[in-house]
A and B are shown apart, each in its own frame.
Chain A
Amino acid sequence: MSPFLFWVFALMTLIFGAAVVVNRNPVASALSLVVSFLGLAALFMSLDAFFVGIIQVLVYAGAVMVLFLFIIMLLNLQAEERRRINWLAAAGGIGVAVILLVQICFVIGDFQAAQQTFPPLAGSTDDVWNIGALLFRNYNLPFQIVGVLVLVATVGVVLLSKREPR
């Protein structure tokens, strides 16, 4: 992919990521996050990681954010729009973000591999097959444990949300 497209999608991800925080309307924030996810997915695809990119769209932009939007619309949060901006908190948030950015710059500066370009991968790789093979061969046990964990969480949610019979 050309560097031009990289900059377009990187800017899209960052600008809409900032819009999530800046927007006062919760629905607008949620939609900005969706666009940010789409930009991120495009960046993954530019690295030939089609599977990761498309899962990013399918799971986060398509399912998780629809549920978010669903809840936000049902609650109809209008108090957020009327609340006044706490400038001290905003300054604190920006400060933390700047510190994190500086740290990342230092780490990347020290990391040798980040300063050289890698040769493109030889031949075509089927990333779906590779991820499947890794998950079900090398990391089968952790994968199963995560599955049980998710199942436990689901059962817990059902138990909590179920009404007590009277």
Chain B
Amino acid sequence: MDFAFVVTSLLKIVGILVVILTMVSYAVYAERRVSAFIQDRLGPNRVGPAGLFQPIADMFKLLLKEDFTPRSANTFYYWLAPCLAVMPAIITIAVVPFGSTLFGVPMVIADVNVGILFVFAIASLGVYGIVIGGWASNSKYPFLGGIRSSAQMLSYELSLGLAVIPVFLLVGNLRLTSVVRYQIEHGWFIAPFVGDWTNPWKWLLAIPMIISFLVFMIAIFAETNRLPFDLPEAEQELAGGYNIEYSSMKFALYFLGEYAAMITGSAVIVTLFLGGWHFPGIPDGSHGWIFGLINIAVFFAKVAALIFIFMWVRWTLPRFRYDQLMRLGWLFFFEIALVNIFLVAAILPYTSRL
């Protein structure tokens, strides 16, 4: 392990952490502005130009509020749970390639050969934060929220896992950098315009890929507890769900965890289906550091666009009922994802022939 590797890795870790945390705080701001726009209101626009300093003000407000621990709560786990909610969401980004190369250094923190499995493994640990928070509060609504959350996340992990199998049938490798490289050579999975795009089989293959993309995206909605699947925190039924008993910075950590999960979820979707940092016509970082920076910018622009879609959906669709959510997950998405795998496997032998 040489010195340059350690230094560049540390720089990448610090850099991505700063970017993600900034994105989280501005995602909260953007959420409020987007919701206001959709509901024909103004939203926060007082602090700084167009309300751009609102996240800083929010942070100070949350830090200065009284930190209250209920007497009946199990104190150790009550304190542990918000940390467990944030960590997995941020760790996931370690295997996602967020750029090509910059000064010859690959822009991915850890390019492990089990990339997508790492994402799923860490995401499946995210449920502990919510479940333990609900249990340690020792109160009935948070507890119900926690139970709901664990059932929901376990159910949707199945469709999540099955939906990505078509992608890896094509790529033949679990590395996320290989997925991006494949898409540079053969075109994005849901829009194969690059390469031999006149090949009709490739367009036929794009149909199951779009199904995969939709199933994966909807499962990510359920995994991150976003509307229309935010049953663990359904205000009308559970008065706020697993985080009722939390106040000040611990509440903010739950908030941060939810948005960080949304950002890393979008980053994974971008990598798997939307070409990662690739944009047609822009060369990679080996042609000069300016292109390396542009690649990173393209990646985060795509992530931001997906986050906007997340918000758009949240303020457009009503919430599902709990039994509907479960039926949808087990009887619809699971089957669709399963049939989709066979569809791709049936088309795949013909694609190389033409």
Contacts and interface: CB of A to CB of B under 8 A. Distances in A.
A73 B147 contact: yes
A70 B131 CA distance: 8
Interface string B75-113: 001000000000000000000000000000000000011
B185 to A, nearest CB: 20
Interface stretch (B20-28, B150-158, B189-197, B339-347): B150-158
A12 B131 CA distance: 23
A128 B113 contact: yes
Nearest to A49: B114
Nearest to A48: B113
A50 B121 CA distance: 12
Given A34-B128, A51-B114, A58 B120 contact: yes
Interface string A48-63: 0011001101100111
B127 interface: yes
The SS class assigned to the A binding surface is helix
Contact of B114 (A27, A31, A34, A50): A50
Nearest to B1: A2
A66 B118 contact: no
A80 interface: no
B256 interface: no
B124 A62 contact: yes
A141 interface: no
A66 B146 contact: no
Nearest to A72: B135
Given A27-B135, A73-B131, A62 B150 contact: no
- Size range of the interface on B? 20 to 34
Nearest to A28: B77
Given A50-B112, A51-B117, A73-B147, A63 B124 contact: yes
A91 interface: no
Contact of B150 (A54, A57, A58, A66): A66
Interface in A1-47: 27, 31, 34
Range, interface on chain A:
20 to 34
A23 to B, nearest CB: 12
A69 B124 CA distance: 14
Nearest to A70: B150
Contacts of B132: 27, 31
B125 A69 contact: no
B13 interface: no
Nearest to B77: A27
A50 B125 CA distance: 17
Nearest to B125: A62
B62 interface: no
Contacts of B122: 57
B188 interface: no
Contacts of B150: 66, 69-70
Contacts of A50: 112-114
Nearest to B172: A129
Interface string A62-101: 1100110110011000000000000000000000000000
A62 B160 CA distance: 14
Contacts of B125: 57, 61-62
A63 B157 contact: yes
26 contacts: A27-B77, A31-B132, A50-B112, A50-B114, A51-B113, A54-B117, A54-B121, A57-B124, A57-B125, A58-B117, A61-B124, A61-B125, A62-B120, A62-B121, A62-B124, A62-B125, A63-B157, A66-B127, A69-B128, A69-B131, A73-B131, A73-B143, A73-B146, A126-B113, A128-B113, A128-B174
Interface of A: 27, 31, 34, 50-51, 54-55, 57-58, 61-63, 66-67, 69-70, 73-74, 126-128
Query: Top 8 A-B pairs ranked by shortest CB distance?
Result: A62-B124, A58-B121, A57-B121, A54-B117, A50-B114, A54-B114, A54-B121, A70-B150
Given A27-B132, A73-B147, 19 more contacts: A31-B77, A34-B128, A51-B113, A54-B118, A57-B125, A58-B117, A61-B121, A62-B121, A62-B127, A62-B157, A66-B124, A66-B128, A66-B131, A67-B154, A69-B150, A70-B131, A126-B113, A126-B173, A128-B174
